[in-house]
Amino acid sequence: CTLYFTGCSTNPPPPPPPPPPPPPAAPGGPPPAATSNSGGGNFLSASLYIGDLLPDVNEGLLYEIFNAVGPVASIRVCRDAVTRRSLGYAYVNYHNAADAERALDSMNFTDIKGKACRIMWSQRDPSVRRSGVGNIFVKNLQENIDNKQLYDTFSLFGNILSCKVVCDKETGLSKGYGYVHYETNEAAANAIEKLDGMLIDGKEVQVGMFVRRDTRPDQASWTNCFLKNIPYEWDEARLRQEFEPFGEIASVSISMGKRKVFPKKKKVVVVEKKEGEEEQGDDDAASAEEGAAETTEEEKPAEEEPAEEEPAKEEEEPAAEPEEESNEPESLGFGFINFVEHESAAKAVEEMNEKEFETTEDGEATTKALFVGRAQK
Between CA 186 and CA 134 the distance in angstroms is 7
Q: What is the mean pLDDT of the chain?
A: 77
pLDDT reading at 36 higher than 80 = no
Please give, one letter per residue, the 3-state secondary structure of 256-290: EECCCCCCCCCCCCCCCCCHHHHHHHHHHHHHHHH
The closest of 305, 309, 297, 371 to 336, measured between CA atoms, is 371
Between CA 30 and CA 104 the distance in angstroms is 7
How far apart, in Å, are the Cα atoms of 29 and each of 107, 127, 173, 201?
13, 24, 28, 23
The closest of 31, 36, 90, 40 to 65, measured between CA atoms, is 90
In the prediction, which pLDDT does 215 show? Answer: 60
In the prediction, which pLDDT does 57 show? Answer: 95
Contact between 100 and 122 under an 8 Å Cβ cutoff? The reply is: no
| Mean pLDDT on 298-313 | 48
What digits encode the pLDDT tens for the residues 247-269? 999 999 998 888 776 565 555 55
How far apart, in Å, are the Cα atoms of 304 and each of 293, 307, 309?
18, 9, 14
What digits encode the pLDDT tens for the residues 180-210? 999 888 999 999 999 998 898 888 898 988 8
What digits encode the pLDDT tens for the residues 350-361? 999 989 898 888
pLDDT reading at 62 higher than 70 = yes
In the prediction, which pLDDT does 244 show? Answer: 93
| Mean pLDDT on 326-349 | 88
For residue 144, the 8-state DSSP code is T
Between CA 6 and CA 64 the distance in angstroms is 55
What digits encode the pLDDT tens for the residues 264-290? 555 555 555 555 555 555 555 555 555
How buried is 63 (Cβ within 10 angstroms: 0-12 exposed, 13-18 middle, 19+ buried)? middle
User: What is the H or E stretch that residue 189 is in?
Assistant: helix 185-195
What digits encode the pLDDT tens for the residues 154-177? 989 988 888 899 988 888 888 899
Q: Which residue has the higher pLDDT, 301 or 62?
A: 62
pLDDT reading at 301 higher than 60 = no
Question: At 76, is the pLDDT very low, low, confident or very high (cuts 50, 70, 90)?
Answer: very high
Between CA 48 and CA 56 the distance in angstroms is 20
CB burial of 322-338 (b: ≥16 within 10 Å; e: otherwise) equals eeeeeeeeebbbebebe
- Could you list the beta-strand ranges (E) of 47-85: 47-51, 72-79
pTM for the structure as a whole: 0.48
Between CA 360 and CA 231 the distance in angstroms is 8
Rounded-to-5 percentages of helix, strand, coil across the chain: 25, 30, 45
Question: At 124, is the pLDDT very low, low, confident or very high (cuts 50, 70, 90)?
Answer: confident
**Angle, CA 192 vertex, CA 107 and CA 148 arms, to 5°:** 20
Q: Which percentage of the chain shows pLDDT scores above 90?
A: 36
